[in-house]
Chains A and B, each alone.
Chain A
Amino acid sequence: MSIDTETARRVAKLARIKVEDDQLPALAGEFSAILDFIEQLNEVDVEGVEPMTSVTPQRLKRRDDVVTDGDQQAAVLKNAPDAREGFFAVPKVVE
């Protein structure tokens, strides 16, 4: 399967990774090679096979819906690139 530069541009956008225009053809080439490799899966008869959701047949544990942790504002913000007045700060989002 061949990926064109437009598709590469769209995927980069969806992934929120800035890719310069002059890099798109090389990226498209790499995607194509990887997808060619993945295409082998089309040889397998998967009719009636359930897609795996959990590798071990266990039911996820449940617990009472109660607060078990909290009051950690300082710890939560400690590694933020920009934190102000107890919040994460980001560039303007709404005009």
Chain B
Amino acid sequence: MTDLTKLTIAEARDAMRKGDTTSAEITQACLTAIEGAGALGAFVHHTPEIATEQAKAADARIKAGDAPDMCGIPLGIKDLFCTKGVPSQAASGILEGFKPEYESTVTTQLFDAGAVMLGKLNMDEFAMGSSNETSVYGNAVNPWRRGNDDAVLTPGGSSGGSASAVAADLCLAATGTDTGGSIRQPAAFVGITGLKPTYGRVSRWGIVAFASSLDQAGPMTKDVRDSAIMLQAMCGHDPKDSTSADLAVPDFEAALTGDIKGKTIGIPKEYRVDDMPEEIEKLWADGITMMKDAGAKIVDISLPHTKYALPAYYVIAPAEASSNLARYDGVRFGHRAKLAQGDGITEMYEKTRAEGFGAEVQRRVMVGTYVLSAGFYDAYYNRARKVRTLIKQDFETVFADGIDAILTPATPSAAFALGENFDPIQMYLNDVFTVTVNLAGLPGIAVPVGLDQQGLPLGLQLIGRPWEEADLLNVAFSLEQSAGFVAKPSKWW
């Protein structure tokens, strides 16, 4: 077989079971592709020894006929996941040298299912960013370019390394995490599928925390079927995460019939934002036509508090981050600043955190500190949490009215050039279509649907009812079949 790195999870699974190839062969092909792709900045810690070992064990399991679906599948793991004995830095200087003594629940489950780890993937520092430009490792780069223009584009963020690696066929799939859009926006920017599950579907244990009430891990894959297969292995109840849901996990892949006749798809009028590029408007209209042609009923809906989602997010997420990141104090792990004569413990904290955190992380920790401080708690933090209640009620109302899924654009533009977006607030607006989903705890999926005039991929987002990822994946599967998106970036790296 040629081009083993281009296989989907489903194709690789079937080929390995038939004996047409082995995990060792696919893993080696990926390791070779990674070696030649340094220019993408996607893999930041390489684990070829672990990969080779895991592939060997996977091949033995497949041979014995005892192989789960993910067995032998080579993956990239976002640097936010703690992996035992392997650097896990959340792309931050403050976790320089940190090698966890434990394994996150998600990676434990994936490895127990036989998956192979190729290495750790680049991201925005502590998952705070939408362009992968806040990473201590330097930028991750989008494998796509605008026509013949060689301007370097962002793969999005925060899961930028995951997006770049999957789109460039360096791995078969990758883990991502999504606090405000960090799986779906990068997936849309590189033309792959990215799923954020319902809050509580996937355990957060062992994932470096950013905003605990919003964070959720999910798969970033080459197609919808692969997201179903990989989600199956990642999710389930975990006693180590008190917000992990003790609910039965359905067979997600079996739900993919592609039949959406009689489903009701809502089109929220508030997502038609000012200055929306015409190409995004057209993409959305095309998506609506595809759903209608597939037999779905299209209904205009209203989610009146949409406009307030981003400002609420930029109170709640920094507030939670300021609390979560208090643990980086130079005492138990990671970086400690060199101290001057006479420096006490306060100087140690202050210098360590000034040296270890990048500018965006410092900014958010301080904004979070401010909105939680005496005198401002009610005006900012409590008000934002009330608005969050209203945003969730908006969704509950339309779901109660019979809406099965909601179709929106995934991002307000195609991938932009690295260094193009300097203003923090302009950068925050990238998440305008995705952040409501985190605030309401819902599942959302980005699916590639078309190319813009410059040849860059564009995606649409589908939002589902809580815990109904199976149904959501099936609607996404139908959209994928109708869109027939098969474009790949041409190799320049």
Question: A-side interface residues toward B, CB under 8 Å?
Answer: 7-8, 11-12, 14-19, 27, 30-31, 33-35, 37-44, 46, 49-56, 58, 60-61, 63, 72, 75-76, 78-82, 88, 90-93
Contact = CB atoms under 8 A, between A and B. Distances in A.
Given A34-B363, A46-B387, 5 more contacts: A34-B424, A49-B389, A54-B243, A56-B245, A92-B345
A91 B345 contact: yes
Contact of A52 (B245, B333, B389, B466): B389
Contacts of A50: 386, 389
B183 interface: no
Contact of B424 (A11, A33, A63): A33
B370 A81 contact: no
B366 A49 contact: no
A41 B344 contact: no
Interface residues of B, number: 73
A60 B101 CA distance: 27
Contact of A44 (B308, B322, B353, B441): B308
A17 B366 CA distance: 8
Given A11-B369, A14-B369, A34-B314, A52 B354 contact: no
A83 B262 CA distance: 64
B57 interface: no
B441 A18 contact: no
B357 A17 contact: yes
24 contacts: A14-B369, A15-B365, A16-B353, A17-B366, A19-B354, A37-B425, A37-B428, A38-B314, A38-B315, A40-B308, A44-B305, A46-B390, A52-B386, A55-B199, A56-B198, A56-B441, A58-B245, A79-B332, A80-B332, A81-B335, A91-B339, A91-B343, A91-B344, A92-B345
Contact of B367 (A7, A31, A78): A31
Main secondary structure of the interface of A (DSSP, over half): loop
Interface in B302-352: 305, 307-308, 310-312, 314-315, 322, 326, 329-336, 339, 343-351
Interface string B362-377: 1101110111010000
A17 B245 contact: no
B63 interface: no
Q: Output the residue of B200, B246, B334, B366 with the most chain A CB within 10 A.
A: B366
A41 B312 contact: yes
Given A30-B363, A31-B366, A93-B345, A37 B311 contact: yes
Contacts of B272: none
A31 B370 CA distance: 9
A44 B390 contact: yes
Contacts of B329: 16
The 6 closest A-B CB pairs, nearest first, are A55-B441, A51-B385, A81-B336, A79-B333, A18-B350, A46-B386
A93 B344 contact: yes
A11 B439 CA distance: 26
B263 interface: no
Contacts of A40: 307-308, 311
Contacts of A12: 366
B70 interface: no
Contacts of B199: 55-56
Interface in B86-109: 97-102
Nearest to A92: B344
Nearest to A16: B349
B295 interface: no
Contact of A90 (B102, B345, B370): B345
B118 interface: no
A14 to B, nearest CB: 5
A11 B311 contact: no
A73 B440 CA distance: 40
Contacts of B243: 54, 56, 58, 60
A63 B344 CA distance: 41
Contacts of B326: 16
Contact of A80 (B307, B331, B424): B331
